[in-house]
Amino acid sequence: MKEKTKMKKLVAVLMALFMLTASAAMAETALEEIQARGTLTIAMEGAWQPWTYHDESGTLTGFDVEVGALIAEGLGVTPEYMETAWDGILAGVDSGRFDIACNGVGYTEKRAESYNFSTPYVYTEMVLVVRADNEDIKSLDDLKGKKTANSPNSTYAMRSEAAGAEVVYVDTLGETMEMLQQGRVEATLNAKDSVDAYLAEHPEAQIKVVLSVAGEPVAIPMQKGERTETLMEEINRILEEARQNGKLAELSNKYFGRDLTKEE
């Protein structure tokens, strides 16, 4: 009798999984699929403080971790964080492996040709960083012919290349700063708040900021096409509600120490 009961429970579970999978497969839009599945897959690095990183206890945290949770909650689903190297984030969104990315992704017109983007939810600054004893690099023009370190396909790498630099590709900010201090590269362009967080953790670091300029507005990328349009609309609604009720500003102040939600 116990075996029959166990078998009935197993069949019920399998049927529920089948129905869930079938419902997701029949969904016509990305939003319908996500809501049928009950989860939102969110791509992030998990190694870029204060955006997405692991705290001292090893817990995944950061500004974009909470933004992702906010979006999932607004959609009525559970966030499923998928950590991967920066170079795989946008490729994974493009292939459908991830529903969205939350990782300080800068909006550019070039990227908008390949992805649908939400409205911007924060506006960043970009800084030019060199070794403490470097007196040759003080502007973007000075990067011509120099070596910089950046993640491949990042807006910082693009800006460096546009300035005439030779970009050495790395996976994390920690690697970037290590190469810079070792003299293996001469500079890096990066997010001001990430560099500030690095210096707060490594006050002994032999680096300095020589220039600060406006960065790209940060937005949520998703697959290009009509299938994600309703998802984009819902995400825009959730972000706007969080902007209006002060939640976005609260998260920005929590992780960046200032409100980055307003375009200067």
pLDDT digits (tens, 9 = 90+) for 225-255: 999 999 999 999 999 999 999 999 999 999 9
User: 107 falls in which pLDDT band (50, 70, 90)?
Assistant: very high
Are 70 and 138 part of one and the same domain? no
In sign, the C-alpha dihedral spanning 125, 223, 100, 86 is negative
pLDDT tens per residue, range 148-169? 999 888 899 999 999 999 999 9
Q: Which pLDDT does position 3 carry in this prediction?
A: 59
Query: What is the CATH number for 233?
Result: 3.40.190.10
Q: Which domain holds residue 164?
A: 124-216
Q: Which pLDDT does position 24 carry in this prediction?
A: 46
Are 43 and 89 part of one and the same domain? yes
Are 7 and 110 part of one and the same domain? yes
The answer to whether 104 and 129 are in contact (CB under 8 A) is no
Task: Please state, in angstroms and rounded to a whole number, the distance separating the CA atoms of residues 116 and 106.
Answer: 13
Q: Which pLDDT does position 5 carry in this prediction?
A: 55
Q: Does residue 264 form part of some domain?
A: no
Whether 15 has a pLDDT exceeding 80, the answer reads: no
Are 150 and 249 part of one and the same domain? no
Are 134 and 174 part of one and the same domain? yes
Better-predicted residue by pLDDT, 100 or 28: 100
In a 13 Å sphere around the CA of 19, the CA atoms on its Cβ side amount to 6
Task: Please state, in angstroms and rounded to a whole number, the distance separating the CA atoms of residues 107 and 75.
Answer: 23
Q: Does residue 82 form part of some domain?
A: yes
Are 192 and 72 part of one and the same domain? no
Whether 18 has a pLDDT exceeding 70, the answer reads: no
Are 26 and 143 part of one and the same domain? no
225: left (phi over 0), alpha (psi -120 to 50) or beta: left
H-assigned helices in the chain: 2-26, 30-37, 63-75, 86-95, 109-112, 155-162, 173-182, 192-201, 229-244, 247-256
Q: Does residue 134 form part of some domain?
A: yes
Residue 66 dihedral angles phi and psi, to the nearest 5°:
-75, -35
CB count within 10 Å of CB 99 equals 29
User: 13 falls in which pLDDT band (50, 70, 90)?
Assistant: very low
Q: Which pLDDT does position 153 carry in this prediction?
A: 84
Q: Does residue 68 form part of some domain?
A: yes
99 Cβ contact partners less than 8 Å away, ≥ 6 residues apart: 30, 34, 40, 41, 42, 93, 222, 231
Are 76 and 25 part of one and the same domain? yes
Whether 122 has a pLDDT exceeding 50, the answer reads: yes
Q: Which pLDDT does position 140 carry in this prediction?
A: 95
Q: Which pLDDT does position 22 carry in this prediction?
A: 45
Give the chain's domain count: 2
pLDDT tens per residue, range 37-60? 999 999 999 999 999 999 999 999
Query: The pTM is what?
Result: 0.81
Are 27 and 11 part of one and the same domain? yes
Across the range 72-92, mean pLDDT stands at 96
Mean pLDDT of the chain: 91
Give the SS3 label for residue 212.
Answer: strand
Q: Which pLDDT does position 131 carry in this prediction?
A: 97
263: left (phi over 0), alpha (psi -120 to 50) or beta: beta
Q: Does residue 92 form part of some domain?
A: yes
Q: Which pLDDT does position 88 carry in this prediction?
A: 94
User: 112 falls in which pLDDT band (50, 70, 90)?
Assistant: very high
Pair of tokens at residue 159: 């800006």
Whether 16 has a pLDDT exceeding 50, the answer reads: no
